[in-house]
């Protein structure tokens, strides 16, 4: 009888442990312009619709939703024991601000034809650098995220529709932080430098960091670059200094975050607490 009780107790422990090992924790919100991190155990693979997701150490994965994304999604996660978790994701519409900027210099409303070749060349460089994003299962970001600037004034928010001198422009895909020239810029998370570009027409001196599993961040209009392409970076490491290079009206940092090419709100990144 005593042996039978021990056997039953052991089965309960094993069953409970098995259930616990399949538990999934979601960090982030299921809405436009958001990043979601999933923490679990014994994950064999995961898909978001037709996109296969990277999984670090069978437990950590991430995905994001573009600022204008409207299609509902199906998340499918398979555990090593064969169990499959299905989650249907509904994306509610998000309201964004309209930002009207008048009396800007004329060249900020229209680009001269003579510059098109230069712009095209710089876009090719960016495209080549971005092609390296998401090639690894490793979650370099697992130590968490931080604000790349200490202090400063938010001069433009993510998602705002900019109208320059009455001309509608593309949605603002980052967060602008106005601070004095020379202010240190810190890496928002661990990662690898994929681009350290100098004197680009639109972005000036700029940096692209790869944080693993498709998460990447970019930093525009710098006065000085302090990193090189291929360099490994730690969260909080100084990567450059604020400036007003490129297409800029004053000293500030344009800080952007994406999951692959999907535009994510940097302000929401700072709300993630998963470690």
Neighbour order of strands in the sheet with 84-89: 51-52, 43-48, 73-79, 84-89
| Domain 98-269: CATH superfamily, name plus number | Glucose Permease (Domain IIA) (2.70.70.10)
Reduced to 3 states (helix: H, G, I; strand: E, B; else coil), residue 82 is coil
- Positions of CATH 2.60.40 in the chain: 2-89
**pTM here?**
0.86
pLDDT at 86 over 60: yes
pLDDT band at 17 (very low <50, low <70, confident <90, very high): very low
Backbone Cα Rg of the chain:
22
Comparing 245 with 20, which gets the higher pLDDT? 245
Burial call 228-264: b when 16+ CB within 10 Å, e when fewer: eeeeebebebebbbbbebbbbeebbbbbbbbbeebbb
The mean per-residue pLDDT over the stretch 244-250 comes to: 95
Closest CA to 75 of 112, 120, 45, 100: 45
pLDDT at 93 over 60: yes
* pLDDT at residue 12 in the model: 37
Number of helices (H) and strands (E) in the chain: give both, helices first. 3, 20
The string of pLDDT tens digits covering residues 108-167 is 545 677 799 999 999 999 999 999 999 999 999 999 999 999 999 999 899 887 777 777
pLDDT at 14 over 60: no
CA distance readout (Å), 183 to 3, 143, 163, 169, 173: 69, 24, 28, 28, 22
Tokens at residue 191, please?
A: 């990662």
* pLDDT at residue 114 in the model: 77
How far is Cα 256 from Cα 157, in angstroms, rounded to an integer? 11
* pLDDT at residue 275 in the model: 74
Where is average pLDDT lowest: 11-15, 184-188, 193-197?
Answer: 11-15
* pLDDT at residue 164 in the model: 74
pLDDT at 6 over 50: no
The residue to which tokens 């095209």 are assigned:
120
Closest CA to 134 of 193, 214, 211, 62: 214
- Asked if 185 and 150 count as a contact pair (C-beta separation under 8 A), the reply is no
* pLDDT at residue 105 in the model: 53
Phi then psi for 44, rounded to 5 degrees?
-80, -45
* pLDDT at residue 171 in the model: 83
Reduced to 3 states (helix: H, G, I; strand: E, B; else coil), residue 126 is helix
Q: What is the largest CA-CA distance in the chain?
A: 90
- Positions of CATH 2.70.70.10 in the chain: 98-269
Comparing 13 with 201, which gets the higher pLDDT? 201
pLDDT band at 22 (very low <50, low <70, confident <90, very high): low
The mean per-residue pLDDT over the stretch 190-194 comes to: 98
Where is average pLDDT lowest: 8-17, 70-79, 108-117?
Answer: 8-17
Mean pLDDT across the chain, nearest whole number? Answer: 89
pLDDT at 53 over 80: yes
CA distance readout (Å), 117 to 79, 111, 201, 222: 50, 11, 11, 23
How far is Cα 6 from Cα 11, in angstroms, rounded to an integer? 9
Closest CA to 64 of 168, 216, 236: 216
* pLDDT at residue 154 in the model: 95
What is the CATH code of the structural domain delimited by 2-89? Answer: 2.60.40
Where is average pLDDT lowest: 69-83, 110-124, 135-149, 244-258?
Answer: 110-124
The mean per-residue pLDDT over the stretch 30-53 comes to: 96
* pLDDT at residue 101 in the model: 72
- Asked if 211 and 243 count as a contact pair (C-beta separation under 8 A), the reply is no
């Amino acid at each position: 009888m005593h042996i039978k009780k021990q056997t039953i107790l052991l089965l309960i422990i094993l069953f409970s442990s098995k259930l616990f090992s399949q538990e999934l924790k979601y960090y982030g919100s299921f809405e436009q312009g958001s990043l979601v991190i999933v923490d679990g155990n014994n994950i064999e693979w995961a898909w978001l619709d037709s996109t296969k997701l990277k999984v670090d150490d069978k437990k950590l994965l991430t995905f994001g939703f573009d600022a204008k994304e409207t299609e509902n999604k199906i998340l499918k996660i398979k555990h090593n024991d064969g169990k499959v978790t299905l989650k249907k994701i509904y994306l509610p519409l998000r309201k964004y601000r309209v930002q009207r900027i008048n009396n800007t210099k004329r060249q900020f409303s229209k680009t001269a034809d003579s510059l098109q070749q230069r712009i095209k060349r710089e876009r090719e460089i960016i495209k080549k650098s971005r092609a390296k994003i998401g090639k690894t299962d490793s979650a370099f970001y697992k130590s968490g995220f931080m604000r790349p600037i200490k202090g400063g004034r938010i001069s433009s928010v993510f998602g705002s529709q900019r109208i320059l001198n009455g001309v509608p422009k593309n949605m603002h895909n980052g967060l602008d932080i106005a601070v004095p020239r020379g202010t240190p810029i810190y890496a928002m998370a661990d990662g690898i430098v994929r681009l350290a570009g100098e004197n680009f027409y639109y972005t000036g001196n700029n940096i692209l960091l790869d944080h693993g599993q498709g998460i990447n961040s970019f930093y525009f209009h710098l006065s000085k670059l302090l990193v090189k392409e291929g360099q490994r970076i730690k969260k909080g490491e100084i990567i450059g200094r604020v400036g007003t290079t490129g297409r800029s009206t004053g000293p500030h940092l344009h800080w952007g975050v994406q999951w692959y090419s999907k535009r994510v709100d940097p302000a929401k990144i700072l709300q993630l607490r998963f470690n």
